[in-house]
């Protein structure tokens, strides 16, 4: 946890330092050959948003008495460096969301995600060239299986614990690291739509030992069984697609669609599944519209499937009315 705190601190310190360097870099702006849409220099940005919702019911038909409280915080940082045909992009996203309901009268975590991404592209022309990319994604805080009444839990080693708040995933677990290299192709670069695809060789590492999930046996009514996630490594063909832009109507709606897949041909699966059965998918859709300069409505859909970790689609929806704070960069 200490190492992660230092890493986040260094990232945001770099953004502040880069913001000071931007004015110096602008003195020598040059349009490199074949990359007329970009200019040399450093472009840092850092924004924060927060949201809070309170709903209170008293003797209202069909509703539990009490308050529903939801609040959250997100941070988004980017540091883009462009020089001649070299394009380096560093991004960090942090999302935290908590809620409390009358049924479960304590705050519980509903969303928790940290993602750091480093991408390097070499522009042979405006539209294409080789690339290398690395991504780290994890949860910052521990996760708990919450119940109203105390329950008996049993781990695979047959150790037991009775509680109404069982920690099943520690902080920084599981950690997923992705690497890929190959060629990128970006045929569209407009305000309303930007399209960029990448394809090549990729690797996926998931470190999940020490993290558990509920795998309850219905025949044992007096205990809830837990199973442990398994760490694994894969390598194979990688493909990604990113489409984003803004649509101007009465208000400006921005969108960002991302899709990644990795079909492994290097793996070790005890269940002896083939490459297609073990294909990993990671997709997200983000929609946002600004109501004012400081207030926005945001929607995010996230779909993940990692068959060697859990052979089910992981689906997450978030709708937030957010207060926005631009700390570094341009509006």
Query: Residue 328 and residue 79: Cα distance in Å, rounded?
Result: 11
For 21-69, the pLDDT digits (tens) are 444 444 433 444 444 456 788 999 999 999 887 777 776 666 677 878 8
| pLDDT score for 27 | 41
For 136-167, the pLDDT digits (tens) are 999 999 999 998 889 999 999 999 999 999 99
Phi, psi of 24 (to 5 degrees): -70, -40
- DSSP state string for 28-71: G----TT-TT--SEEEEEEEEEEEEEEEEESS-TTS-SEEEEEE
Phi, psi of 40 (to 5 degrees): -65, 145
DSSP 102: S
Give the contacts of 316 (CB within 8 A, at least 6 positions apart).
111, 300, 301, 302
Query: Residue 278 and residue 307: Cα distance in Å, rounded?
Result: 5
The pair of three-digit structure tokens given for residue 259, joined into one six-digit string:
């899709």
How does residue 176 score in pLDDT terms, banded at 50, 70 and 90?
very high
Query: Residue 171 and residue 142: Cα distance in Å, rounded?
Result: 4
Q: Lowest mean pLDDT: which of 63-72, 213-222, 246-255?
A: 63-72
Please compute the mean of the pLDDT values over residues 251-273 and round it to a whole number: 92
User: Between 138 and 330, whose confidence is greater?
Assistant: 138
Query: Residue 208 and residue 172: Cα distance in Å, rounded?
Result: 9
For 84-137, the pLDDT digits (tens) are 899 999 999 999 999 988 888 788 998 899 999 999 999 999 899 999 999 999
Cα dihedral sign for 267, 272, 275, 276? negative
| pLDDT score for 160 | 93
Phi, psi of 303 (to 5 degrees): -125, 130
Query: Residue 222 and residue 220: Cα distance in Å, rounded?
Result: 6
Q: What is the pTM of this model?
A: 0.80
How does residue 330 score in pLDDT terms, banded at 50, 70 and 90?
confident
How does residue 1 score in pLDDT terms, banded at 50, 70 and 90?
low
Specify which residues 50 forms β-bridges with.
73, 323
């Amino acid at each position: 946890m200490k190492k992660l705190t230092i890493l986040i601190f260094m990232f945001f310190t770099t953004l502040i330092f880069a913001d000071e360097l931007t004015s110096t870099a602008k003195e020598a702006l040059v349009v490199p050959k074949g990359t007329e849409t970009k200019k040399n220099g450093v472009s840092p940005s850092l924004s924060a948003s927060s949201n809070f919702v309170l709903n209170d019911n008293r003797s209202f038909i069909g509703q539990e008495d009490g308050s529903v409280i939801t609040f959250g915080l997100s941070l988004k940082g980017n540091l883009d460096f462009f020089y001649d045909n070299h394009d380096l992009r560093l991004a960090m996203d942090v999302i935290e969301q908590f809620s409390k309901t009358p049924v479960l009268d304590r705050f519980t975590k509903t969303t928790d995600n940290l993602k750091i991404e480093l991408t390097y592209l070499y522009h042979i022309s405006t539209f294409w060239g080789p690339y290398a990319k690395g991504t780290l994604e994890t949860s910052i805080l521990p996760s708990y299986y919450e119940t109203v009444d105390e329950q008996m839990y049993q781990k695979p080693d047959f150790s037991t614990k009775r509680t109404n708040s069982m920690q099943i995933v520690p902080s920084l677990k599981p950690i997923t690291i992705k690497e890929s290299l190959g060629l990128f192709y970006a045929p569209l670069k407009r305000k309303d739509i930007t399209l960029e695809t990448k394809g090549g060789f990729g690797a996926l590492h998931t470190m999940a030992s020490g993290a558990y999930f509920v795998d309850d046996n219905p025949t044992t009514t007096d205990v809830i069984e837990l199973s442990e996630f398994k760490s694994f490594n894969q390598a194979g063909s990688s493909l990604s697609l990113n489409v984003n832009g803004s649509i101007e109507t009465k208000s400006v709606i921005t969108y960002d669609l991302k899709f990644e897949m990795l079909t492994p041909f290097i793996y070790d699966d005890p269940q002896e599944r083939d490459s297609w059965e073990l294909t990993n998918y990671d997709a997200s859709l983000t929609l946002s519209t600004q109501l004012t300069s400081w207030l926005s409505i945001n929607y995010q859909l996230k779909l993940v499937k990692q068959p060697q970790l859990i052979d089910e689609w992981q689906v997450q929806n978030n709708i937030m009315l957010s207060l926005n704070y631009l700390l570094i960069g341009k509006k």
